Chain A
């Protein structure tokens, strides 16, 4: 507590705990706020309430088993996490997924991005008092979760991407719901925008709130839509393409204002860009072809081959009992998750388990800028600032 000068003379500041049990902290974030009246003097995010030691657990699992725990980090974008991890291990091994798997991966991760942005938009809006947007967003999200369930059998913890390709051949006709979604979703985005973009309450709650300039955003390591709202066009898909993104034609939406409204516009525009990528991916996915790399001893053999070929049976047994051992070395693979740069650092010691598996999660880094966004603003703006950073506590605390 410190003494501050107010209009009526010196006064004491008040310390207020926001969270960890607070609906607008999107999980178990605790922010210790020092308030002068309603003005935030100091904000200090306290994290760790969801720390489950995922990185330590990863060291005790084989490379394939560890895929399942990557889902649990960013539970709103499981496919992005799977992709980042699989690409990292593939880089370590020196293998690449076949084109069919690559394009399906791109298609599904872009749908994941839309799905994650929908949750962000819905919760951000409900935090600021716009209830109906939340219901609309979750209606469309349901369609996407159904697509994920169709291909992987799971709505959220998909673990569908595997090292060297995909877990299973997607079922016949799985592209139908994707196409239906593509045809109806653009008008749904218009609907959200009708409700918010020129809404005066929305404007006054987000415009000029939580401003951060480009230099500060980079200094705080911000990535993803949070930095693109400040005029920095850093998008890993463009800067360091992976999984064939260089073949896709899409724009990176950038705004220069650096406030909550700019970040809102960037994310909404990103949903439209993701639709573009999905549409192109539909045209690129080969009708048939392998979904797993031909890498015996690393990628599980096809079921049919196991019944006719001795080697396939042996490989299958060895992969699932002892795993595979990549060469010793370290790799870092970055991808553009819905929240920003998601990086997987994997150190191999030549054994079947990752010696060290570190996830550079975008929410963890972006949250660090919260004091910069919220200090000097009103208490109610803290809610807008947390919402605009689009944090997922699962990946912050790991």
Chain B
């Protein structure tokens, strides 16, 4: 106990949880403003949850918008951290693609979201914007069955090539016969 308290100037812990505040000031967000100025149809919805900004865009606008976000010098979202999919079965549009972007120079983050229908889900690839999208998109193709138009190498990545079905879909059981 003696040496554990060494270096402790003040009892800094306050009892009880500290609730994270949520920002709600959407209108003044410069990123959304720039995207709106570029093409107002590219912004379908803006969500802020737990301080995280999500920009929902029509799936037809996704690749041009990605190009804009990565290329525009004062936005410069140059790092694509991750792409992930959520299956909202049986709700339509069924698939939600989430692109997590980082602008390294500005230390800023943004989540881009596009929704796809359950019937023939297909979206344009962003591998030309961020080459790292290659494996992320293969993973989503493998596990959700979403196709990426223009992808250079759209093959299964985890599952065997002859596997039937898409394991992370909600109508694919966790255990038991498929």
Contact = CB atoms under 8 A, between A and B. Distances in A.
A360 B81 contact: yes
B28 to A, nearest CB: 21
A264 to B, nearest CB: 23
B22 to A, nearest CB: 8
A42 interface: no
Most buried by B among A60, A285, A287: A287
Interface string B39-58: 00000000001101010000
B131 A287 contact: no
9 contacts: A47-B157, A48-B156, A164-B17, A221-B132, A234-B102, A332-B82, A343-B81, A343-B100, A356-B86
Given A94-B20, A331-B52, A218 B104 contact: yes
The range of chain A's interface size is 35 or more
A376 interface: no
Nearest to A331: B50
Contacts of B7: 282-284
A98 interface: yes
**Chain B: interface secondary structure?**
loop
Interface of B: 1, 3-8, 11-13, 15-20, 49-50, 52, 54, 78-82, 84, 86-87, 98, 100, 102, 104, 107, 109, 111, 130-132, 134-136, 143, 156-160, 167-168, 174
B84 A96 contact: no
A331 B82 CA distance: 13
Given A48-B157, A286-B12, A368 B134 contact: yes
Contacts of A365: 132, 135-136
Interface of A: 47-48, 51, 53, 55-57, 59-60, 91-92, 94-96, 98-100, 164, 175, 218-221, 223, 232, 234, 239-240, 282-287, 289-290, 293-295, 329-332, 334, 341, 343, 345, 347, 355-356, 358, 360, 364-365, 368, 397-398
B144 to A, nearest CB: 10
Contacts of B167: 53, 56
Contacts of B86: 330, 347, 355-356
A329 B47 CA distance: 10
Contact of B98 (A48, A219, A289, A330): A330
B50 A329 contact: yes
Given A96-B20, A218-B79, A360 B157 contact: no
A328 B131 CA distance: 32
Contact of A364 (B100, B107, B135): B135
Contacts of B3: 175
A164 B16 CA distance: 11
Contact of B8 (A92, A239, A283): A283
B39 to A, nearest CB: 24
B132 A219 contact: yes
Nearest to A366: B132
Please provide the 6 A-B residue pairs with the shortest distance between their CB atoms, ordered closest to farther.
Answer: A283-B7, A221-B132, A360-B82, A48-B158, A287-B5, A51-B158
Nearest to A329: B49
A91 B20 contact: yes
